[in-house]
Amino acid sequence: MTTNEQQLLVPQDTYLKAGIHIGTKFRTAYMSKFIYKIRPDGLSVLNLDLIDQRIKMAGKFLSRYEPKDVIVVSRRENGWKPLRAFEKATGCRTIPARYPPGILTNICLKDYTEAKILVVVDAWPDRNAMKDALQAGMPIIALCDTNNQANDVDLVVPCNNKGKKSLGLLFWILAREYLKNKGAIKSDDEFKWPLEDFAEE
């Protein structure tokens, strides 16, 4: 599955236990390049090295922005706990639950919010947020499973974007990488937020 155990952001076993690499039985053409193999039951298995590389890239990309300029959205309920923990750890703004259409584009709305980059947990349920971000000219980072389209996405992070443990682990790592790249912490050991704050048991 992976040959770079030393270079991974977390031990390979941690990734595997969270099921971050388990995709769906459906595969889009774009996501096929991230697929390592197809299991006998038809489920796709994503390449762990590529998942890890893309989380690193996302951490660096996000760190160009101040917390107030980042907005993270998840219509999918399994993303709500990870998002709330990510906001506490980084100060970035999150919208767990329904995204209120127009808040990134319509200055007349009382909850209008200015942001410079959008992160979505799933491009399909979070499509209203993506539509607004495109209209506002904002770059988009999207977590994408094997069944996702990647149209209009600036950076795809391949992963199981449906599981509680998978999303918890991903946002825990992303929070740590964001803070390291911002210089807020110097090493992994300085990241004091436990994984349990992000992930369901």
pTM equals: 0.94
pLDDT at 2 over 60: no
| Tokens matching residue 81 | 């706990």
DSSP character for 22?
B
Which H or E run contains 53? helix 48-62
pLDDT digits (tens, 9 = 90+) for 99-112: 999 999 999 999 89
Every domain of the chain and the residues it spans: 11-183
pLDDT given at position 6:
59
CA angle 156, 159, 165 (to 5 degrees): 140
pLDDT digits (tens, 9 = 90+) for 14-40: 999 999 999 999 999 999 999 999 999
Beta carbons within 8 Å of 34's beta carbon, 6+ residues apart: 46, 47, 50, 51, 146, 156, 158
Average of per-residue pLDDT values in the chain: 95
Q: Which CATH number applies to 11-183: 3.40.640.10, 3.40.309.10, 3.40.50.10490, 3.40.605.10?
A: 3.40.50.10490
22 bridge partner residues: 45
